[in-house]
Amino acid sequence: MPLVRVAGAHEIPEGTGRQVVANGKLLALFNVKGEYHAVDGICPHQGGPIGEGILEGTVVSCPWHFWRYDVVKGHAPDFPQATIRKYTVQRQGADIMVEL
């Protein structure tokens, strides 16, 4: 699968996230203790922008209805059956790359 550059490492400070677009796909990219994680950028609940949510530890809250997802595990901490797609992330020098 191809790797696509989505951001520079300096653009995502530790403990934050943001929306990014890779090959036309909206993703949410997070920096958890220096490790980068990417998930679908659209909340499966009602389509909110996951990357604009507040990251607390490994859990992001969707800004629309506060559904919570663990960006490392790829599911809601309170409802493991509520999953969100994760993507493989690699750091190559100063670039953050996502496998699509």
One digit per residue, pLDDT tens: the chain, 100 residues?
799 999 999 999 999 999 999 999 999 999 999 999 999 999 998 999 999 999 999 999 999 999 999 999 999 998 888 899 999 999 999 999 999 9
Judge contact between 50 and 65, C-beta under 8 A.
no
Q: So what's the pLDDT on residue 67?
A: 93
- In this structure, whether the domain defined by 3-99 belongs to CATH 2.102.10.10 is answered with yes
d(CA 63, CA 93): 31
Whole-angstrom Cα distance, residue 77 to residue 21?
Answer: 26
Give which of 66, 14, 62 is closest to 39, Cα–Cα: 62
